[in-house]
Amino acid sequence: MQGKIVDKPCNVKIYKIIPNDLQECPFVVLICVGIHNYPPPPPKRTPNNIKDNLQIMIKEAIENDDVVTFGSIIQGNMLKAYFNKETLQEIHISLNNIDRLRYLVAKTYKNLYPFGQHILGVFQSVYSKQFDLHNYVHKIDFFGDELVLVICILEKQAQLLQHLECFQINLSFKHVKGDINEFEINSYNDYHNLSK
């Protein structure tokens, strides 16, 4: 099925008055006479309370899952939970443009991680004691231009590691995307018959 464009002529007359010398009088006058027979365009601005609630929702989503995108917000159930609506358009007509949500997600990420989420962002978060990372990231060393060593371990994990009889290092473990090498330490707990 193909849509059909319906022409709705408007009876409004528009007069444009341009002065002879635009240098001396740099103004143009538009005069509209009549009543438009079509609805006005949708509002472009999202009301502040809706925008604030969207940013709170996005911030909480990012804090729970650090890979939030505008697509995951639309496909998930966050809109229903926060606004009791299924789509962005139902919340406000200005959100019909997906770029508005994309902008709000990017802005929230920028506010949470002003230095990004790569090594500079990690370094800044540890240094400023943001997100309580200073208790987890114990060492960041830079070797030349390309190699960075980040040692992450909780105090309780370090204490347990000291008392293990044996452990295994898994070099195939890959938790993050990109050109990052990561490894995982595994051990076996005889008391609970579980691997950790």
Tens digit of pLDDT for each residue in 151-181? 888 888 888 888 887 778 777 766 666 677 7
Of 56, 80, 112, which one is at a domain's C-terminal end?
112
Last residue of a domain, one of 90, 112, 134: 112
Using the 3D structure, point to which of 62, 82, 112 is the last residue of a domain.
112
Query: Per-residue pLDDT for 4 more than 70?
Result: yes
Give CA–CA dist 32/141, Å, rounded.
68
DSSP-derived letter for residue 58 is: H
- 68 within some domain: yes
Contacts of residue 175, defined as CB under 8 A and 6 or more positions apart, other chains included, come to: 182
Helix axes 48-64, 98-112, angle to 10 degrees: 60
| Close Cβ partners of 171 (under 8 Å, ≥ 6 residues apart) | 181, 183
Domain co-membership, 103 together with 157: no
Number of domains present in the structure of the chain: 2
- Domain annotation covers residue 73: yes
Residue 63 resides in a domain: yes
Do residues 92 and 50 make contact, with C-beta atoms less than 8 angstroms apart?
A: yes
Q: How far apart are CA 131 and CA 142, in angstroms?
A: 22
Long-range Cβ contact pairs of 73-78 (< 8 A, separation 24 or more): 73/101, 73/105, 74/98, 74/101
When pLDDT is cut at 50, 70 and 90, the band that residue 124 belongs to is confident
Task: Pull the structure tokens for residue 36.
Answer: 């438009």
**Is 128 within the bounds of a domain?**
no
Read off the pLDDT of each residue in 85-105 and give the average, rounded to a whole number: 86
35 domain residue, yes or no: no
Question: Does residue 85 fall inside a structural domain?
Answer: yes
Task: Answer for the pair 104, 54: CB distance below 8 angstroms, yes or no.
Answer: yes
What one-letter code names the amino acid at 7? D
What distance in Å separates the CA atoms of residue 45 and residue 51, rounded to the nearest whole number? 9
| pLDDT at 73 > cutoff 80 | yes
Band of pLDDT at residue 192, cut at 50, 70 and 90? low
Q: Of the candidates 62, 54, 72, which has an alpha carbon nearest to the alpha carbon of residue 131?
A: 62
Domain membership of residue 61 as a residue range: 48-112
Is residue 18 included in any domain, yes or no? no
pTM over 0.75: no
In a domain, 22, yes or no: no
- Whether 117 and 125 have beta carbons less than 8 Å apart is answered as no
Q: At residue 138, does pLDDT exceed 80?
A: yes
